Amino acid sequence: MSQHASRLGGLRGRSHIPFGAPPHQRLRRIPRRPRRIAMLSVHTSPLHQPGTGDAGGMNVYIVELAKRLAAIDIEVEIFTRATTAALPPSVELAPGVLVRHVDAGPYEGLAKEELPAQLCAFTHGVMRAWAGHRPGYYDLVHSHYWLSGHVGWLATERWGVPLVHAMHTMAKVKNAALAAGDTPEPAARVIGEQQIVRAADRLIANTGGEADELVHHYEAARELVAVVHPGVNLDRFRPADGRAAARARLGLPADALIPLFAGRIQPLKAPDILLHAVAHLLEEDPSLRERMVVPVVGGPSGSGLAKPEGLHKLAARLGICDVVRFRPPCTQDELADWYRAASVLVMPSYSESFGLVAIEAQACGTPVVAASVGGLPVAVRDGVSGTLIQGHDPADYARALRPFASEAGRVERMGAAAARHAESFGWDTAAAATADVYAEAMRERRRLRSAHG
């Protein structure tokens, strides 16, 4: 039995959130939801542009979830590290959502790997904000990623409220599927994640597979893990006026085969596999060179910062510079146009907690070719809205992409199925399920407090 399961003793068999099912569908009764929560995102701000630095799917997740929670009358205050002196202490992101900037370490030039040394300063900033309020101001803490989990652990101990934690990625899972030449996550992170799992009142997993990983790798108590699928902004990411109009806006050929990569440029995301796959396709059918465009939309991140020009050099070595177009990270609205313009999105990642990019592309009516890792088998309906690939052999990706060049109507047929598939991943559903996780954590905290006098 895990230490956390032991600590909670008699929890088993009671009215808790069952493992592997949306909690809002299975609770026997819905306890009181929180009025206000403190949400922690230490290493990346919800105000940052996704696709730059460490900003990515987690940023989108936090922004969209916070907005939808506020819409159901749960106020959200997001604490994040200040990265410039020009930022005000707090910014209203949306009605009911406040972003608080905490001074912790130098504003610029601090890598994510250096942030553990700043957690004490960050915690101090969170406590100062809390001290200015009346007792009981925050009903619950929701932390994102392991760095935030440690701050949340201390805050909840001090405030006497529950801690709900979302890993987003896990060191043991990433280390088990490293790309060639990538850097393993340090032992300190592994230990830190184990501590958070023991401390949290509830853990939120994106998929049943992620929940299994928490149980297997970190000995999480199954009854404390709630599965809540992330959502997609269906107002922004939708087919809109179609593929031809999006291509015209982006200056892309109307009749081209366009396999798109969108995301952070780092070994984990494996954009190099797409480039190798494109080289395979062109070697097999040189005529494709006249009607293929391969956009790579995103910026260097993580271990990719060590070789920011690596992907450009690879394209040159493969002799495909004439078809590859590197584009910097862009706004969410422009990203939606890139999705709409593409024939297919390619996600060869070695690890993905969920793969929000895959859902966003499908919501825009674009099929996906992706690695069968992490949450992607949930995000992509294999054979219907896209194709899942076992392993990371570029020849397999080339084989999956070939029908998009040769089969008339394949893009439109699978794209329509992709849009239908994505409709079930709205953020309103995710927010309601998350709110129920909060409520159950609060109810159980009250029960334990009453049981111990």
Residue 450, pLDDT score: 82
Residue stretches of the annotated binding site for 1D-myo-inositol 3-phosphate? 43, 54-59, 112, 145, 169, 189
Residue 452, pLDDT score: 76
Is the per-residue pLDDT at 10 higher than 60?
no
Quick one: tokens of 63?
């922004």
Residue that is written with structure tokens 């890598």 in the block: 111
Residue stretches of the annotated binding site for Mg(2+)? 339-340, 342, 366
Other beta carbons less than 10 A from residue 22's beta carbon:
18
Q: How far apart are CA 429 and CA 65, in angstroms?
A: 10
Q: What domains are there in the chain, each with its CATH number?
A: 36-177+186-231+428-444 (3.40.50.2000), 243-425 (3.40.50.2000)
Residue 17, pLDDT score: 42
Other beta carbons less than 10 A from residue 183's beta carbon:
15
Residue 264, pLDDT score: 84
What's the CA dihedral at 48, 92, 131, 437 to 10 degrees? -80
Span between the terminal Cα atoms of the chain, in Å:
25
Residue 6, pLDDT score: 38
Among 24-33, 306-315, 390-399, 417-426, name the one with the lowest average pLDDT. 24-33
Give the tens place of pLDDT for each residue, 346-379. Answer: 999 998 988 899 999 999 999 999 999 999 999 9
Give the tens place of pLDDT for each residue, 238-274. Answer: 999 989 999 999 999 999 999 999 998 989 899 999 9
Q: How far apart are CA 363 and CA 120, in angstroms?
A: 41
Q: What is the mean pLDDT of the chain?
A: 89
Residue 379, pLDDT score: 95
8-state DSSP, 160 = T
Which amino acid appears at position 445 of this protein?
Answer: R
H helix intervals, 219-270: 243-250
Residue 305, pLDDT score: 52
Other beta carbons less than 10 A from residue 413's beta carbon:
13
Is the per-residue pLDDT at 226 higher than 80?
yes
Looking at 55-176, which runs of residues are DSSP E strands? 75-81, 90-94, 97-102, 140-144, 163-166
Residue 8, pLDDT score: 39
| Per-residue pLDDT band at 37 (split at 50, 70, 90) | very high
Residue stretches of the annotated binding site? 43, 49-50, 54-59, 112, 145, 169, 189, 264, 269, 339-340, 342, 352, 360, 366
Give the tens place of pLDDT for each residue, 38-88. Answer: 999 998 888 876 554 555 678 889 999 999 999 999 999 999 999 888 889
Quick one: what percent of the chain has pLDDT higher than 90? 74
Residue that is written with structure tokens 């005000």 in the block: 88
Residue 56, pLDDT score: 64
Query: 280 or 23: whose pLDDT is higher?
Result: 280
| Per-residue pLDDT band at 434 (split at 50, 70, 90) | very high
Give the tens place of pLDDT for each residue, 147-157. Answer: 999 999 999 99
Is the per-residue pLDDT at 4 higher than 50?
no
- Helix, coil or strand: residue 230: coil
Give the tens place of pLDDT for each residue, 273-316. Answer: 999 999 999 999 999 999 999 999 998 765 545 565 889 999 99
Residue 301, pLDDT score: 61
What does the buried/exposed string (b/e) look like for 333-370 if buried means 16 or more CB atoms within 10 Å of the residue's CB? eebbbbbbbbbbbbbbbbbbbbbbbbbbbbbbbbbbbb
Looking at 300-347, which runs of residues are DSSP E strands? 324-327, 344-347
Residue stretches of the annotated binding site for UDP-N-acetyl-alpha-D-glucosamine? 49-50, 57, 264, 269, 352, 360
Residue 86, pLDDT score: 85
Is the per-residue pLDDT at 453 higher than 70?
no
Max Cα-Cα span within the chain: 77
Compute the average pLDDT of residues 126-149. 95
Contact assessment for residue 20 and residue 203, using Cβ atoms and an 8 Å cutoff: no
